[in-house]
Structure 1
Amino acid sequence: MMTFLLAVVLLIVGYIVYSKVVERIFGINDQQPTPAYAKGDGMDYVPMSWWKGSLIQLLNIAGLGPIFGAILGALYGPVAFIWIVIGCIFAGAVHDYFSGMLSLKHNGEQYPSLVGRYLGKPMQAFINIVSILLMILVAAAFTAGPAQLISELTPLSFIAAIFIIFGYFLMAALFPVNKIIGKIYPIFGAILIFMAVSVGAALLLSSHQVPNLTYANLHPENLPVWPLLMVTISCGAISGFHSTQSPIIARTLKKQSDGRKVFYGAMIAEGIIALIWAAAGMTFFGGTDGLQGALAAGGPAGVVNEISISLLGTLGGILAILGVIILPITTGDTAIRSSRMMVTALLKKGIKHTKGKGIIIIATIIVTVPAFLLSTIDYTFLWRYVGWTNQLVATVMLWTGAIYLLINNKFHWICSVPAMFMTGVVCTYIFYAPEGFNMDYTLSMILGAFFTIVIAVWYVRKIISHSKDQNRFSKAS
């Protein structure tokens, strides 16, 4: 129990202390107009209060991610607490802050454009494809589950439910951000927080004992912690999907100092939610073996339902249904919206005479159609790649932040150290995982270390080159 409570306290302290360190290093100026005012268009660039932006950001980046991912990560035991705390404070929240604040700094630019500015056009082209595909897959994945549950609880068929959900997606993507998302998301964000806090309080007051820290790997199948845990628990620790969502809110901030509360703060809140569900998962069923059996019987949704109803009664059942239906849908719609924004930026470069609503509608159709088709078929084989792709996107965003800090003579280690860590994760994972090259674990570790060292050498050369440029500039002046 003490490990869990200490983990929650550390996340709160991390926000109070480290978020201010990150903000100071990045540098803010509240006298400079934000894109919400400088580029106000009544569609995406619309000023909103920081508290509303925080709740929308939380719902955008969270959904069922910190619930399902944390429950699956709980199979490893209390070591999951360590990853959530360290990953969230020093990697995930930093990642989210830089993805949002760099977007704000560059007039609300999308994630691929930011990558292009600091890592070059070839990387931008690659990330454009990867991030749009990731969001289409996320939208498809987070539609099928709710549609299936709706078809079980109502007379509607699965296909009819799919059409209704995508009808909502179209409205959310095409309407101004303050008309639908700005009005209902704060409510749903509050539901997400209430659901997690209620489960956490009921768990603490119950006879269940949350296990304290042990470094032993408690996974029933003895799967290795590195790098699988870091991919299994992404939302709640670090997730590249967040970097595609942050520009949505970056276009609505009233002042730069709101960024710490919105971007860093929402990630810490998501980390606390992940801690609660990880604790519930590894405790409620009598250990990781029991959790494994519950997952085999009903999947993560069944586990959420059983925990919620058992701990909270009728209220828990209502919350579980709301969570499994509403939360993934509200992640899917912003996935469509942000991918629409990215495609719009691409189309503006390629189609010179299409402007305004026309180009927005075309971009929405381009991303909605494939997401709809994927949601109606067995896309499980594609979904297996989302976890790695998600963390790859996060790694690139951290390197983007590191280069920004380096070239601006700021303390770049706050981004480059977690970027190097995540480089090791994605390099090792792709060689070891079944959806990757499915290699021997030891060989995967060797190859992962090799490519991580290659990236490290690249970055060291960047540091040396920048230092030489600075020396030449000093001498010239």
Structure 2
Amino acid sequence: MLTFMASIFILIFGYIIYGKVVERIFGADDHRTTPAYSKHDGFDYSPMSWWKGSLVQLLNIAGLGPIFGAILGALYGPVAFIWIVIGTIFAGAVHDYFAGMISLRHNGAQYPTIVGKYLGKYAQSAINIVSIALMVLVAAAFTAGPAELIAQITPLTFTTAIVIVFLYLLIAAVLPINKVIGKIYPIFGGILLFMAVAVGFGMLFIFENPIPNLTFENMHPGELPLWPLLMVTISCGAISGFHSTQSPILARTLKKESEGRKVFYGAMVAEGVITLIWAAAGMTFFGSTGGLQEAIAAGGAAGVVNEISQTTLGTLGGILAILGVIILPITTGDTALRSSRMMLGDLLTQTTKLDFAGKKAKLLLIVPVALPAFLLSQIDYSFLWRYVGWTNQVVATVMLWTAAIYLLKQAKFHWICSVPATVMTGVTATYIFYAPEGFGLDYSLSMILGTILWVVVMVWFVWQVYQEKRQGYPSVAQSKVS
């Protein structure tokens, strides 16, 4: 109990204190005109109130990630609390803030464009492929998951359910942001928060078992290693590269730069709180990590959510659980398609020098990303999700290095980005060698190879620091326009 309550307070104070530190280092300036006004088109660029933007951002970045990921991460025991708290404050929220604010400073540019500006054209070319692939995988996975549940609780077939879900994704992805996303999604964001708060009260007053206190012991029943699996299992709710593709969507709606801390840093902290609650619920409700593993094996993560919700809120909880498992992934899938359409538009504009900003172009651009997403959605959901995990954290790592170089070029305190980037480089470098969806190598060998790859990246960054110092930070003079 003490560990859980302390974790909640640390997350809140992290937003209040460290969020302000990050904002000051970045240099938010309300005298600047934001893209919502300078490039207003009533479609993607449109002013939105900060509170509405925060709820939309929360729903965009969250979906089922902070629920399902938290439940799977709870198998490791209370040590997961440490990763959620530290990851959220010092990595995830920093990542989201810089993804959104650097985009804002570059007229709402998409993630690959930002990477290209600070890491070079080769990095941009690679990350264009990786990030668009991630968006397609997310859209496919978040179509298949809800469709499976719809087919189970209605007379509709799985194929019919997929078609219905995907048609909605297409419509939401091409409509102006204020037509559907800006009006309806804040309500869904409120449902996500309500479910988390209700479960939190349930742990305090209804659940029979006490919330476990902190232990550094790895309690995973399958004896899976903490490093690096925990950091990939709990991504949404600690740090997730998917967020760097979503933050530019909201960067095009901010009325002033000071709202960035509330919309980007704040939404990530809120997601951290939600993740913490569901992780604690998973550890508590079933009495042990072994009991949780049996529940997951019997009904999957969705079954665990349903059982906990019904116990906490009765019939209402069951309804909310079903709505959550259906609606939340759908609202992430459509913004995944939306951001992939934006990325493809930026890529084609840069390579062909043609204008892809018109409404007709936006409608055409959705086709090449929607078609593969629809075809992939008919593959097993769990198979798709395995490949989302590592790709997701690679994208997050690259975004942190991009932000570190951004700060380095302006002679600002780059450590707030380069330190978490260093940690995430170690995570992704080791995971790809060890994980079954990677090379599936022995753990010790994976650690060695991962360390070698990590050293290569560290040498590259040290060289970047040396180059900037030797040249006397030439970018500082251009900081007003960057």
Aligned equivalent of 2:449:
447
In 2, Cα distance between equivalents of 1:130 and 1:103: 18
In 2, Cα distance between equivalents of 1:300 and 1:455: 36
Aligned ranges 1:208-227 → 2 under 5 Å: 208-227=209-228
Choose 257-266 or 167-176, whichever is displaced more: 167-176
Aligned equivalent of 1:278:
279
What letter corresponds to residue 277 of structure 1 in structure 2? W
What letter corresponds to residue 236 of structure 1 in structure 2? G
Aligned equivalent of 2:376:
374
1:100–1:290 Cα change, 3 Å = same
Q: CA RMSD in A?
A: 1.4
1:342 and 2:343 correspond: yes
Q: Does structure 2 conserve the Cα–Cα contact (< 8 Å) formed by 1:97 and 1:260?
A: yes
Secondary structure in 2 aligned to 1:40? coil
Task: Tell me by how many angstroms 1:472 deviates.
Answer: 9.4
1:254–1:473 Cα change, 3 Å = closer
Secondary structure in 2 aligned to 1:45? coil
Task: Tell me by how many angstroms 1:358 deviates.
Answer: 2.3
Aligned equivalent of 1:104:
104
Task: Tell me by how many angstroms 1:348 deviates.
Answer: 2.8
1:409 and 2:411 correspond: yes
In 1, Cα distance between equivalents of 2:66 and 2:288: 20
1:83-124 per-position Cα deviation (integer Å, ceiling 9, x unaligned): 000000000000000000000000000000000000000000
Aligned equivalent of 2:156:
156
In 1, Cα distance between equivalents of 2:236 and 2:48: 25
Choose 61-70 or 447-456, whichever is displaced more: 447-456
Task: Tell me by how many angstroms 1:312 deviates.
Answer: 1.6
In 1, Cα distance between equivalents of 2:381 and 2:334: 19
Task: Tell me by how many angstroms 1:208 deviates.
Answer: 2.3
Task: Tell me by how many angstroms 1:318 deviates.
Answer: 1.1
Task: Tell me by how many angstroms 1:473 deviates.
Answer: 11
1:320–1:381 Cα change, 3 Å = closer
1:471–1:49 Cα change, 3 Å = closer
Task: Tell me by how many angstroms 1:153 deviates.
Answer: 2.0
Task: Tell me by how many angstroms 1:155 deviates.
Answer: 2.3
Runs of 4+ displaced beyond 4 Å: 471-474
Secondary structure in 2 aligned to 1:12? helix
1:202–1:115 Cα change, 3 Å = same
Secondary structure in 2 aligned to 1:41? coil
Task: Tell me by how many angstroms 1:148 deviates.
Answer: 1.6
Aligned equivalent of 2:331:
330
In 1, Cα distance between equivalents of 2:473 and 2:26: 23
What letter corresponds to residue 402 of structure 2 in structure 1? T
Pairs aligned (count)? 474
1:309 and 2:310 correspond: yes
1:249-303 per-position Cα deviation (integer Å, ceiling 9, x unaligned): 0000000000000000000000000000000001111100000000101110011
In 2, Cα distance between equivalents of 1:115 and 1:472: 19
What letter corresponds to residue 347 of structure 1 in structure 2? L
Q: Does structure 2 conserve the Cα–Cα contact (< 8 Å) formed by 1:347 and 1:363?
A: no
In 1, Cα distance between equivalents of 2:374 and 2:246: 20
Secondary structure in 2 aligned to 1:236? coil
Aligned equivalent of 2:28:
28
Secondary structure in 1 aligned to 2:267? helix
Aligned equivalent of 1:80:
80
1:165-206 per-position Cα deviation (integer Å, ceiling 9, x unaligned): 111111111110001100000000000000111111111112
Q: Does structure 2 conserve the Cα–Cα contact (< 8 Å) formed by 1:92 and 1:237?
A: yes
Q: Does structure 1 conserve the Cα–Cα contact (< 8 Å) formed by 2:113 and 2:346?
A: no
Q: Does structure 1 conserve the Cα–Cα contact (< 8 Å) formed by 2:71 and 2:279?
A: yes
Aligned equivalent of 1:456:
458
Choose 435-444 or 82-91, whichever is displaced more: 435-444
Choose 447-456 or 326-335, whichever is displaced more: 447-456
1:27-74 per-position Cα deviation (integer Å, ceiling 9, x unaligned): 011011100000000100000000000000000000000000000000
Unaligned runs of 5+ in 2: 477-482
In 2, Cα distance between equivalents of 1:472 and 1:239: 32
Secondary structure in 1 aligned to 2:472? helix
Q: Percent identity?
A: 70
Q: Does structure 2 conserve the Cα–Cα contact (< 8 Å) formed by 1:347 and 1:359?
A: no
1:153–1:470 Cα change, 3 Å = same
Task: Tell me by how many angstroms 1:378 deviates.
Answer: 3.1
1:66 and 2:60 correspond: no
What letter corresponds to residue 234 of structure 2 in structure 1? I
1:293 and 2:291 correspond: no
1:92–1:185 Cα change, 3 Å = same
Task: Tell me by how many angstroms 1:243 deviates.
Answer: 0.2
Task: Tell me by how many angstroms 1:388 deviates.
Answer: 0.5
1:191 and 2:191 correspond: yes
TM-score, length-scaled by structure 2: 0.96
1:343-367 per-position Cα deviation (integer Å, ceiling 9, x unaligned): 1222334373766222111210111
Q: Does structure 1 conserve the Cα–Cα contact (< 8 Å) formed by 2:144 and 2:380?
A: no
In 2, Cα distance between equivalents of 1:40 and 1:472: 32
Choose 1-10 or 311-320, whichever is displaced more: 311-320
1:292-342 per-position Cα deviation (integer Å, ceiling 9, x unaligned): 000101110011011111122111101101100100000000000000111
Aligned equivalent of 2:168:
168
1:151–1:16 Cα change, 3 Å = same
Aligned equivalent of 1:392:
394
Task: Tell me by how many angstroms 1:453 deviates.
Answer: 1.3
Choose 310-319 or 175-184, whichever is displaced more: 310-319
Task: Tell me by how many angstroms 1:435 deviates.
Answer: 1.0
1:439-460 per-position Cα deviation (integer Å, ceiling 9, x unaligned): 1111111111111111111111
In 2, Cα distance between equivalents of 1:347 and 1:471: 32
Aligned equivalent of 2:204:
204
Q: Does structure 2 conserve the Cα–Cα contact (< 8 Å) formed by 1:104 and 1:247?
A: yes
Choose 92-101 or 365-374, whichever is displaced more: 365-374
In 1, Cα distance between equivalents of 2:46 and 2:356: 23
In 1, Cα distance between equivalents of 2:436 and 2:357: 45
